[in-house]
Each structure stands twice: as structure tokens, then as C-alpha cells.
Amino acid sequence: DVGLSLKDDASRAVTIDGIKDVVIKTNLSTEDKGTMLIAVGDKVNVSELSNAEKQKSLGSVLKKGVETQVLSPAQQQLMQQHLDKITAEQIKKDTIKKVNDILFDPLSNTELKTTNIQAITSNVLDGPATAKVKGEIIQEITNTVAGSSLEAQDKAAIIKGIGETIATHSDTSLSLPNKA
């Protein structure tokens, strides 16, 4: 807790690395070491750190736990799920910021806003996130457009564009191999 409350990023990173290294080098059983690394990860996960700092710290703890074979497969999976969740939250936040920047750009007309938001939607669909997260992000994009101060017909045009992008998008990762 004290290490996470330090004010500068470098001090926090050094503290977390130090704790991680001490846990690895102790005479505890491998199972106990894994449990302690999970506890460090849990503290990082609920801390006030930014998502980027959480990603970096959790990624570091996970990597060290895997390299030293201290984390069980179940513990690795749990920590990876926490990391994936934080990454998804950061992607959502970044995406909505881009959408808001486009919506509030006084120099772009509805057609340009639609094209730019369609490009963002396409990038979300092509991104590495799970289908569930992609759906949440696209729903958030749509809600952001709908809740904006634009005229109703402009909102409708942009949301229609989002729908067209989704309808015409092809996801090659889901294509089935040809059967002979």
C-alpha cells in the first residue's frame, strides 16, 4: 500500500519490482509465492493508479511470475483477466475521447464526422478486444453520439453510418477454413 501511494511513477515501479523480487527470493513454497504475487497484483488492481500504470505493473508481475514458474496456470489466467479488463477500460476511454473530439470539432461537418466515427468503429471491430468488449465500445460510441448536442438529423446520420460500418464489416478472424 505504501509503495502504491508514492507520488512519482518511477518510485512506484521500483517499489513494486522490489516487492516482486523479494517474494520470488523468499524461502516460501512456490504456491505461497504465487499467492503473494496475486496479492500484489490485487493491490495494484484496486489502487488509484492510472490504467496505463496498472497495465505496466500487472504486466510486470505476471511476466515475472510466469518466468520464475511461481504462478499456477489458474493464477496466470486470473492475473491475465485483470490485465485484459484494465486494457479494455483504457481502450474504451481512449475511443470515447476520440469520438468526443470529432463530435465537438466545429470545423467538421456531419459527413466528415460520420466518416471519422465510422473509421473509429471499424478500428474497434478490427482490434484485439473480445467480441463482448467490442460490443460495449460500439454501444458507448452510439450512446455518446446520441447524447451529444448535435441536431437530431446529424445524430441520426452518424448513427446510421455506424450501423452501415458494422453491417458491411468483414471479420476475417471468424472465417472458416475451406473444406476439401
Residues 110 and 58 reside in one and the same domain: no
pLDDT per residue over 131-144, tens digit each? 888 999 999 999 99
What number of other Cβ atoms are within 10 A of residue 161's Cβ?
Answer: 20
Is residue 175 in a domain?
Answer: no
Residues 58 and 100 reside in one and the same domain: no
Domain stops at, among 43, 71, 99: 71
pLDDT more than 90, % of the chain = 40
Residues 93 and 65 reside in one and the same domain: no
Residues 93 and 165 reside in one and the same domain: yes
Residue 114 structural domain: 88-170
Residue 179 above 50 pLDDT?
A: no
pLDDT confidence of residue 159: 96
CA angle (17, 22, 28) in 5-degree steps: 140
The total number of structural domains in the chain stands at 2
- Given pLDDT bands bounded at 50, 70 and 90, which one contains residue 180? very low
Is residue 79 in a domain?
Answer: no
Q: In which residue are the cell numbers 460520420 written? A: 114
> In Å, what is the CA distance from 72 to each residue of 66, 79, 96, 121?
8, 11, 36, 37
Residues 60 and 97 reside in one and the same domain: no
Least confident of 44-58, 91-105, 131-145, 147-161: 44-58
Total residues belonging to the chain? 180
Residues 128 and 162 reside in one and the same domain: yes
Cβ 122 vs Cβ 165: under 8 Å? yes
Residues 51 and 107 reside in one and the same domain: no
Q: What 3-state DSSP class applies to 40?
A: helix
Residues 92 and 165 reside in one and the same domain: yes
Q: Give the up-direction half-sphere exposure of residue 141: CA atoms within 13 A in the CB hemisphere.
A: 33
pLDDT per residue over 6-39, tens digit each? 556 667 677 777 887 888 888 888 888 888 888 8
pLDDT confidence of residue 1: 53
Cβ 133 vs Cβ 87: under 8 Å? no
